[in-house]
C-alpha cells in the first residue's frame, strides 16, 4: 500500500500532518506499506465475504423501502493509544454516573429542577418523560444499564461527546464482529502488537443483567425481548442472545400472571423470567400502560416491573435523558450531582428554546448542523453547509414552529481515517460509539464501534444512512516498547 499521496484536510487518526504515522499506528502503517495492491484487495475481499457469511446486516430505511444489506466493513482499523483511552474511559464513567443520578432525580424529588439547574420547561415538553415511572426505584438505583455514547474528534484533535444513547443503543454486535474479522485479516499483527481485547463484552453484559435479578442467589432466567425479525437490528438481538446463552423472545412468548410475575411460554410449561433485556421502545412495551394496540410488548409488564417481580434493562423512562436538548446540560449535571468538572467536553450546542440561541441559529443555518431533539440514526437533521436554500428555509420554519424540539451545533471538521479504495488509501470522516454498562461498578468497552462515512467528504456516518464500520484498536504502547 502506497501512503505517499495520502493527504487529509483535518486531524487523521493514523497519519500525522507531516505524512508520518502516529506512534500508536506506526506498526500497522508499516505493515500495510509492505503489502501489494493485490494483497490488500484480497484481504478486503476476504473481510467482505466473512461479513456476508456471518450475516452482519443492518436495515436501511430509504424512500419507504426496507433494504437489508451487509454492513460495509473497511479493514484498516482505527488506532487509539491506551493512555488516551484511559482518559476517555474515565470521562464516560463520569457521564453515566451523572446521567443515572439525573434520571433517578427526575422520577423522584426533581431537585435539579427545583434548584433551577435544569429548566422545568424542558421536562414539561419532553416526549420521553414517562409519568408512569414516577416514584419507581429500580435495582441498584440504575436506570440506564446500557449506554452507547457517540464521540467525535475535531480538527484540532479534541475528543468531544456528541450524544448519549440511553434508550435502546445498538451496534455493539458490529464491534464484536469487526474484531473477529480483523483477527482473520491481520493475524500477524494480533500476534506481535499489544491490541487490547473486546471479547469480554457479552459476559460483562450478562453479569450486568444478572445483577438485577429479583431472586438473588438463584441462577437468573434472562431473556432478550426483540420486536422480531423485521427490526433493523435483529441481527444484533440474535447475536447477543446467543453469545450470552439467554432466551431470545418476542412479546407473544411472555405473559404476566395474577401474581405479577412475568413468565415465558416453553414446551415444558411456564417458566418465570427474572430479567428482560428489552430492545422494544417504551411506547410499545406494555399495551396495558402505553400504546393499547401494541403487539410487540407484554400486557402487564410495567405492573410486574413496578412490583419488583421482573427487572428491565434499560429501565422504562431512561430516555428522558436521551434527548439532544437535555444532552447540552450534562456538564451541569456532572457539576451538580458529582461536584466535578466534565472530563469529556460536550460539542458546543445552541438550544433553540433559548431566544438568543434561536436567533443565532436562524441567522446561521448555512454554518450549523441542526438536529431534532429525539430522532436517531441521522434522520431529520440538517447539515447546513451541504444543504440547499430550500432545505434551510424548511428548517427555518420548523424551528420557529417548535423551538423546543431543535438544537444546533457547529459543523465540526470531523477527524478522518483511511479506507481502502481502488486508488489507494483515502480519508473518510468517522465517529466512535463506546458502550458503557452500569451496575455496582461501571464497565466501558475497550474502544468501541467506529462508524465511518463511506462517501468522500460526507459527515454522515450512521449505519442507517449508508455508513460503514471499522475495527477499533486500543494499543498499549508501553507493552510494545517494553517488548
**Residues 210-264: tens digit of each pLDDT:** 999 999 877 999 999 999 998 888 989 999 999 999 999 999 999 999 999 999 9
Is 288 among the domain residues?
A: no
Rg (CA), the chain: 23
* Average pLDDT estimate for 267-279: 96
Alpha carbon 227 to its chain's center: 19
| Co-location of 370 and 433 in the same domain | no
Residue 376 and residue 428 share a domain: no
- Rounded CA-CA distance 279/225 in Å is 6
Do 61 and 167 lie in a common domain? yes
Least confidently predicted of 90-94, 182-186, 445-449, 461-465: 461-465
Same domain for 188 and 144: yes
Domain-embedded: residue 9:
no
Give the torsion through C-alpha atoms of 210, 211, 214, 216, to 10 deg: 90
pLDDT at 483: 47
Distance CA 217, CA 288 (A): 31
SS3 248: strand
| Whether the Cβ atoms of residue 175 and residue 204 lie closer than 8 Å to each other | no
Q: Are 446 and 198 in contact (CB under 8 A)?
A: yes
What confidence score (pLDDT) does residue 422 get? 86
Model pTM score: 0.92
- Residue 460 contacts residue 453 (beta carbons within 8 Å): yes
What beta strand segments (E) does 334-481 contain? 350-351, 368-372, 382-383, 406-410, 416-421, 424-433, 435-438, 442-444, 449-452, 468-475
Contact 325, 346 (CB under 8 A): no
322 with 199, same domain: the answer is yes
Same domain, 355 and 477: no
Structural domain harbouring 389 = 350-410
Among residues 475, 444, 476, the alpha carbon closest in space to that of 175 is found at 444
Same domain, 420 and 315: yes
Q: Is residue 234 part of a domain?
A: no
- Domain boundary (367, 387, 410) is at 410
* Residue-by-residue DSSP string for 249-281: E-GGGEEE-TTS-EEEEETTEEEE--EEEE-S-
Helix axes 201-210, 172-185, angle to 10 degrees: 150
CATH code at 394? 3.30.1490.270
**CA 31, CA 466: separation in Å to the nearest integer?**
29
* 483 class by beta-carbon count within 10 Å (0-12 exposed, 13-18 middle, 19+ buried): exposed
* Whether residue 332 sits in one domain with residue 477: yes
Examine the pLDDT at 70 and tell me if it is beyond 80: no
Relative to beta strand 442-444, strand 435-438 is antiparallel
Question: What is the SS3 assignment for 80?
Answer: strand
Q: What is residue 51's predicted lDDT score, i.e. its pLDDT? A: 78
Q: Provide the number of structural domains found in the chain.
A: 2
- Assess whether 207 and 315 both reside in one domain: yes
Q: What is the three-class DSSP state of 347?
A: coil
- 283-296 confidence digits (pLDDT tens): 999 999 999 999 99
Give backbone dihedrals phi and psi of 62, rounded to 5 degrees, phi first: -140, 125
Which residues share a beta bridge with 430?
A: 452
Q: Which residues pair with 247 in a beta bridge?
A: 223
Cα atoms found within 13 Å of the Cα of residue 133, Cβ hemisphere only? 22
* Whether 379 and 329 share a structural domain: no
Mean pLDDT calculated for residue range 69-74:
78
DSSP 15: B
Question: pLDDT digit string (tens) for 311-320?
Answer: 999 999 999 9
390 and 438 in a single domain? The answer is no
pLDDT band at 374 (very low <50, low <70, confident <90, very high): confident
User: What pLDDT, on a 0 to 100 scale, did the predictor assign at position 465?
Assistant: 66
pLDDT of residue 63: 45
Mean of the pLDDT values across residues 9-28? 94
Task: Give φ, ψ of 358 to 5 degrees.
Answer: -65, -45
* pLDDT at position 58: 58
Pairing of strands 247-249, 468-475: unpaired
Amino acid at each position: 500500500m502506497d501512503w505517499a499521496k495520502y493527504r487529509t484536510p483535518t486531524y487523521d487518526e493514523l497519519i500525522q500532518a507531516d505524512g508520518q504515522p502516529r506512534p500508536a499506528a506506526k506498526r500497522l502503517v508499516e505493515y500495510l506499506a509492505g503489502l501489494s495492491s493485490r494483497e490488500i484487495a484480497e484481504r478486503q475481499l476476504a473481510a467482505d465475504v466473512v461479513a456476508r457469511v456471518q450475516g452482519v446486516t443492518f436495515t436501511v430505511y430509504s424512500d419507504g423501502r426496507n433494504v437489508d444489506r451487509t454492513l460495509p466493513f473497511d479493514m484498516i482499523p482505527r488506532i487509539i493509544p491506551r493512555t488516551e483511552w484511559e482518559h476517555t474511559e474515565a470521562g464516560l464513567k463520569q457521564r453515566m454516573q451523572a446521567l443515572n443520578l439525573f434520571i433517578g432525580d427526575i422520577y423522584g424529588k426533581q431537585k435539579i429542577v427545583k434548584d433551577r439547574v435544569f429548566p422545568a420547561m424542558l421536562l414539561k415538553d419532553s416526549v420521553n418523560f414517562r409519568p408512569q415511572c414516577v416514584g419507581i426505584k429500580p435495582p441498584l438505583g440504575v436506570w440506564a444499564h446500557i449506554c452507547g455514547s457517540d464521540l467525535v474528534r475535531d480538527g484540532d484533535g479534541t475528543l468531544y461527546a456528541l450524544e448519549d444513547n440511553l434508550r435502546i443503543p445498538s451496534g455493539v454486535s458490529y464491534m464484536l464482529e469487526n474484531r473477529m474479522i480483523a483477527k482473520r485479516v491481520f493475524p500477524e499483527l494480533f500476534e506481535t502488537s499489544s491490541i487490547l481485547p473486546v471479547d469480554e463484552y457479552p459476559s460483562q453484559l450478562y453479569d450486568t443483567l444478572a445483577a438485577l435479578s429479583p431472586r438473588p442467589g438463584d441462577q437468573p432466567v434472562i431473556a432478550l425481548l426483540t420486536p422480531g425479525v423485521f427490526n433493523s437490528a435483529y441481527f444484533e438481538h440474535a447475536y447477543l442472545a446467543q453469545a450470552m446463552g439467554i432466551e431470545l423472545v418476542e412479546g407473544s412468548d411472555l405473559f404476566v400472571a395474577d401474581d405479577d410475575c412475568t413468565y415465558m411460554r416453553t414446551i415444558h410449561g411456564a417458566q418465570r423470567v427474572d430479567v428482560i433485556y428489552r430492545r422494544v421502545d417504551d411506547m410499545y412495551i406494555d399495551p396495558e400502560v402505553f400504546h393499547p394496540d401494541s403487539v410487540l410488548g407484554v400486557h402487564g409488564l410495567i405492573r410486574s416491573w413496578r412490583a419488583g417481580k421482573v427487572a428491565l434493562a434499560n429501565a422504562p423512562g431512561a430516555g428522558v435523558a436521551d434527548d439532544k436538548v437535555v444532552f447540552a446540560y450534562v456538564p451541569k449535571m456532572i457539576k451538580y450531582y458529582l461536584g466535578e468538572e466534565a472530563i469529556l467536553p460536550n460539542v458546543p450546542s445552541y438550544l433553540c428554546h433559548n431566544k438568543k440561541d434561536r436567533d443565532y441559529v436562524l441567522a446561521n443555518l448555512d454554518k450549523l448542523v441542526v438536529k431534532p431533539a429525539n430522532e436517531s440514526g441521522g434522520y431529520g437533521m440538517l447539515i447546513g453547509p451541504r444543504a440547499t436554500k430550500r432545505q434551510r428555509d424548511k428548517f427555518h420554519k420548523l424551528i420557529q414552529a417548535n423551538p423546543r424540539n431543535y438544537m444546533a451545533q457547529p459543523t465540526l471538521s470531523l477527524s478522518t481515517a483511511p479506507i481502502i479504495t481502488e486508488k489507494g488509501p483515502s480519508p473518510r470522516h468517522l465517529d466512535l460509539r463506546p458502550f458503557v454498562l452500569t451496575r455496582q461498578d461501571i464497565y466501558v468497552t475497550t474502544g468501541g464501534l467506529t462508524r465511518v462515512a463511506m462517501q468522500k467528504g460526507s459527515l454522515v456516518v450512521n449505519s442507517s444512512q449508508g455508513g460503514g464500520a471499522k475495527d477499533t484498536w486500543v494499543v498499549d504502547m508501553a507493552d510494545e516498547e517494553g517488548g
